[in-house]
Amino acid sequence: MSGKLTAEPTRRRLTERQADTVRRLTEAAVEEVRETGSDGLTVRNVARRAGVAPATAYTYFASRNHLVTEVFWRRLSALPPVEAPAEPLPEEARERVVAVLREITLLVSDEPRLAAACTAAMLGNDPDVQELRARIGLAVRRRLRAALGARADRRTVDALELAYAGALLQAGMGHTSYGEMADRLADIAELIVR
Amino acid sequence: MSGKLTAEPTRRRLTERQADTVRRLTEAAVEEVRETGSDGLTVRNVARRAGVAPATAYTYFASRNHLVTEVFWRRLSALPPVEAPAEPLPEEARERVVAVLREITLLVSDEPRLAAACTAAMLGNDPDVQELRARIGLAVRRRLRAALGARADRRTVDALELAYAGALLQAGMGHTSYGEMADRLADIAELIVR
DNA sequence: CAACTTTCCGGACACGTGTCCAGACGTTAG
DNA sequence: CTAACGTCTGGACACGTGTCCGGAAAGTTG
C-alpha cells in the first residue's frame, strides 16, 4: 500500500494545447458513444474524431477504460459545491442528501449507453482507473458529508455510498432507468437518514 | 420486446458428455483465475485447461463474459432454498434477510479476483449475459422475498436489491473486502427491514 | 459393417487493445 | 540560420476476442 503514485513524479503540467487535446478527446468519446453506441467507442475512433493520432490518445489515457472513466470524473467535478448548513434539521439533511444522490445519479443519465460504459469502465484494473475511481469515491463521500453536515456519521455515509453504487450498477445493467433509480435512491435515503 | 429467445427454440437438452464439458469449463475458469489472475482468464486458456478446443468452448458460451457469469450463476443456484416462516416477526425477518444477503455476498468471496471478474462480466451486453443476469436478479429477489415472507413489499425488496448490487460493485472495485461488505449490508438491512 | 448425422477440432480471419519506435513537425535557444 | 528539444505521427507488433468453415471423430441408424 505504499507506492501508488509511482508514475506520477515526472508528471508535468499540461500545455494549453495539450489540455485542449485531452478535452477534445473526452468530448469525442461522448459523441462517439452517442452516435454509434458503446461498441463504437474505440480508442482509435475517438482519436480520429478528435483529430489526433491513436498513439497520441494513448499518451494521455492509459486505456479505453481510463478515457471513459475520465468522462465521468469530469462531469462529477464540474458540479457546483454542495452548500448546506453545518447543523441541519433531520428533514433538511435528508432533503439535501436526496438532492446530492439525484445529481450524481443523473450525471450521465442523458446517455444511457454512456452510463453503462462508465460503470463498466470503472471496474477496470489499470492503475489510472484505480486512481480516478478513488478520486470519484472521495468526491461522492465529500458531497454526502457536506449534505449531512453534523449528522454525517460513518455508518450513514457508508450506507448511502453503498446505495449509490447499487443504483449505478443496476442502472448500468439496464434493469431500470436512471430516473427511476434516482427515485428509488430517494426512498432508501429516507430510511437511512433519520 | 417480443423476440428475446430467438436463439433458444432449437436448444436441445445437453448430452451427459456435453454437460460434463460445460462443467469442466466453468471449473477450469475458476482455477485459471485463481492461479493466473483475472487477466489470465482467457477463453483459450480455459479451454486448454478443460481439455477442449477454443471453438468448442464458444459453442457453449457466447463470450468470455458469458462464461464468467455462468460461474456465478452456478454457485447461486447451488444454494439450498431459503426456508422461513410465512409470517415472521420483524426481528426474524431481518435476521433471515441478513443471512440471505451474507450468503450471496460471500458466494465468490473466497476468490476476490474471481468476484471482481464476475461483477465486470455481468455488465456485458451479450444477450446470453443479459439472460443470465435476469435469472440471477430473479433468484436474488426470490430469496429475499422468501426471507421476508409476508413483510415483502415492493419497496423493501427493491431497497435490499439495491444495497446488494452496491455491495457487489464496491467489493468488485476492491475498496472493501467481501467480509466487510457483508457486515455493512447487515447494517443497512436493519434500517430497511423494520 | 457401412452410411449418415452430429459434434469437435484446429486453424484462418477481421477487428479490437495497448506498446513501441523511427521520423516529421514546431518551438526555443545558441 | 541552424541545432536541439519535446511532441505528434503513423504504422508494425503481440495478443486478445469472437466467427467461420472444412475435415476428423464419435454416435446413431440401416
> Which whole number is the average pLDDT over A25-35?
94
Q: Kindly determine whether residue B192 and residue A188, on different chains, have CB atoms separated by under 8 Å.
A: yes
DSSP for residue A193:
-
Rg of chain A, C-alpha, whole Å: 18
Interface test with B, best of A41, A123, A144, A176 (most B CBs within 10 A): A123
For chains A and B, CB pairs below 8 A equal 94
Q: Is A187 helix (H, G, I), strand (E, B) or coil?
A: helix
Q: Residue B6: how many CB atoms within 10 A of its CB?
A: 9
Q: Is the pLDDT of residue B128 over 80?
A: yes
Grid look-up 430516473 returns A179
Note whether B79 and B57 are same-domain residues: no
In-domain check, residue A11: no
CATH number of the domain enclosing B29 = 1.10.10.60
Note whether B86 and B48 are same-domain residues: no
B9, three cell numbers:
427454440
* Structural domain count, chain B: 2
* C-beta separation of A158 from A102 below 8 A: no
* pLDDT in the model for residue B3: 30
pLDDT, greater one: B126 or A4: B126
Q: Give dist(CA A157, CA A97) in Å, integer.
A: 10
Q: Element (H or E) spanning A172, and its range?
A: helix A154-173
Note whether B174 and B108 are same-domain residues: yes
In-domain check, residue B9: no
> Which whole number is the average pLDDT over B132-149?
95
What mean pLDDT, rounded, does chain A reach?
A: 88
Least confident of B3-7, B88-92, B96-100, B183-187: B3-7
Q: What's CA B177's distance to the chain center, in Å?
A: 17
Taking CA atoms, what residue in B is nearest to A125? B173
Note whether B160 and B93 are same-domain residues: yes
Q: Give dist(CA A191, CA A125) in Å, integer.
A: 34
Q: Give dist(CA A93, CA B110) in Å, integer.
A: 38
Residues B18-72: tens digit of each pLDDT: 888 999 999 999 999 999 888 889 999 999 999 999 999 999 999 999 999 999 9
In-domain check, residue B66: no
Note whether A98 and A23 are same-domain residues: no
Which residues in chain A belong to E strands, given as ranges? none
In-domain check, residue B93: yes
What's the start-to-end Cα distance of chain A, in Å? 36
| Distances, alpha carbon A137 to alpha carbons A77, A121, A158, B145, B149, in Å | 12, 14, 11, 31, 36
Note whether B114 and B161 are same-domain residues: yes
Q: Is the pLDDT of residue B113 over 90?
A: no
DSSP for residue A110:
T
In-domain check, residue B5: no
pLDDT-based confidence at A11, cuts 50/70/90?
very low
Note whether A123 and A185 are same-domain residues: yes
Note whether A187 and A91 are same-domain residues: yes
CA of A17 to C1' of D12 (A): 28
In-domain check, residue A151: yes
A135, three cell numbers:
478520486
Q: Which domain holds residue A47?
A: 16-61
Provide the chain A residues 82-141 that lie in CB contact (below 8 A) with chain B.
Answer: 116, 119-120, 122-123, 125, 130, 133, 137
Note whether B51 and B96 are same-domain residues: no
Q: Is the pLDDT of residue A189 over 60?
A: yes
| Distances, alpha carbon A23 to alpha carbons A4, A109, A133, B88, in Å | 25, 20, 19, 56
Least confident of A45-54, B2-11, B60-69: B2-11
Q: Residue B140: how many CB atoms within 10 A of its CB?
A: 19
Residues of chain B neighbouring A166 (CB-CB closer than 8 A): 161-167, 169
Sign of CA dihedral A168, A172, A178, A183: negative
* Alpha helices, H only, chain B: 16-36, 43-49, 54-60, 64-77, 90-105, 112-121, 127-148, 154-173, 178-192
Note whether A32 and A93 are same-domain residues: no
| Distances, alpha carbon A158 to alpha carbons A36, A165, B14, B30, in Å | 37, 11, 45, 31
Note whether B144 and B171 are same-domain residues: yes
Q: Give dist(CA B153, CA B65) in Å, integer.
A: 33
Residues of chain A with pLDDT > 70: what percent? 93
B25 min Cα distance to partner chain A (Å): 24
Residues A94-124: tens digit of each pLDDT: 999 999 999 999 998 888 888 889 988 998 8
Note whether B33 and B56 are same-domain residues: yes
In-domain check, residue B124: yes
SS (H, E, C) B33-84: HHHHCCCCCCHHHHHHHCCCCHHHHHHHCCCHHHHHHHHHHHHHHCCCCCCC
| Distances, alpha carbon A141 to alpha carbons A104, A172, B183, in Å | 11, 21, 19
CA of B142 to C1' of C2 (A): 55
Q: Which residues in range 31-60 of chain A are in contact with strand D, contact meaning CB within 7 A of any of its atoms? A: 51-56, 59
B149, three cell numbers:
415472507
In-domain check, residue B1: no
> Which whole number is the average pLDDT over A23-34?
94
Point out the domain boundary residue: B36, B61, B86: B61
Residue of A168, A185, A188 lying closest to B169 (CB–CB): A168
Nucleotide nearest to B45 (CA to C1'): D16
